[in-house]
Structure 1
Amino acid sequence: MLRIAGIVRESIVDGPGLRFVVFTQGCPHHCPHCHNPESHDPTGGYLIEEGKILEEYRKNPLLSGITFSGGEPTLQAKELVPIARAVVEDGKYNVIFSGYTFEELMKRCETEPELWELLGLCRYLIDGRYVHEQRDLTLHFRGSRNQRIIDLPASLPSKTPVVVEL
């Protein structure tokens, strides 16, 4: 079971293409001016079976894939892996947002193999905490200038972030 804050069935602002967005519940960052503060409480939201998410996602063949947002989706990596794997098997791709930086995630992967697996099933990572003083509404898929779009297939083999603009 996955604990989520909600789902958006069609989004063009949460990654390239038309995205199905899963907002996970629970976030340790508590960034000031967060866009989703209701997702911070790890006991909030509601539980949903992974299969139900895939069932809803597969109702729209026009989707490019799933975006995992939050909250902090990397805290539920184990539960997200089967969903991410199914999306890849469907020939589509995953995007993941994280308040952790790529470098922080690589450190966590040393002791969290399910996180490494999840990142390996995603095409793009939008990393870093939201910093209100660096807010920039002209950026694609990000809220502040410190956040990066990272090409995960290009980055994971060397554990060095390859930043891209989309």
Structure 2
Amino acid sequence: MLRVAGVSPESLVDGPGIRFTIFAQGCSHKCKGCHNPSTHPLEGGKLMGVEEIIDKLKGKLLIKGLTFSGGDPFLQSKGFHLLAKRVKEVNKDWDILAYTGYHFEDLLKDKEKRRLLEVIDILIDGPFVEEKKDLGLKYRGSSNQRIIDVQRSLDEDRAILYSEEY
């Protein structure tokens, strides 16, 4: 079961293309100026099963991929890992993008968080920093956040950034 703050079945702002976005409930980063502070409490939101979410995805022909946003999905690494694996079974062409306040390098050090990384294609890492807020950035709120090609990064054991097209 996942604790979810909400779902956006067709988002244009949470990554490239039309995306199905799942907002994780719970965030320990509590970044100053966060645009989604209602997702911070760990006990908020509602519980949803993996298959319940998969059912909502069925028939979504225009979706390019899924986005795990928040809150921070890495606080529920095990559940989001199961969901990501199931999503790849349903449609191997969908990519998975995840937002986190953690840095990629720190996620690698935690076994459960690394397992989630292994099934993600794109990671936007780092906390939102209000002093570095930049409305001109695609898919990020502040200039310290990186857009990482996760699979290449895992292969090379270092963060590999996507090109400027993002």
TM-score (norm 2): 0.94
Structure 2 residue runs without a partner (length 5+): none
Q: Distance in 2 between matches of 1:139 and 1:23?
A: 21
> How far off its partner does 1:159 sit?
2.2
Is 2:8 the partner of 1:8? yes
Q: Where do residues 1-166 of structure 1 align in structure 2 (5 Å cutoff)?
A: 1-89=1-89, 90-91=91-92, 92-108=94-110, 112=111, 114-164=112-162, 165=164, 166=166
- Identity, % of aligned positions: 45
> How far off its partner does 1:12 sit?
1.3
Deviation digits for residues 55-83 of structure 1, max 9, x if unmatched? 10223111012110100101111111222
SS at 1:52 equivalent = helix
Question: Is the Cα–Cα contact under 8 Å of residues 122 and 152 in structure 1 kept in the other structure?
Answer: yes
Q: Which moved more, 1:35-44 or 1:58-67?
A: 58-67
Deviation digits for residues 112-145 of structure 1, max 9, x if unmatched? 2x32221111110000000011011111100000
Aligned length: 162
Q: Distance in 2 between matches of 1:130 and 1:96?
A: 14
Structure 1 residue runs without a partner (length 5+): none
RMSD: 1.1
SS at 1:30 equivalent = coil
> How far off its partner does 1:27 sit?
0.4
Q: Distance in 1 between matches of 2:85 and 2:58?
A: 14
Question: Is the Cα–Cα contact under 8 Å of residues 65 and 87 in structure 1 kept in the other structure?
Answer: no
Q: Which moved more, 1:77-86 or 1:42-51?
A: 77-86
Q: Distance in 1 between matches of 2:59 and 2:39?
A: 25
Q: Distance in 2 between matches of 1:66 and 1:117?
A: 17
TM-score (norm 1): 0.94
The letter for the 1-side match of 2:11 is S
Q: Distance in 1 between matches of 2:132 and 2:81?
A: 32
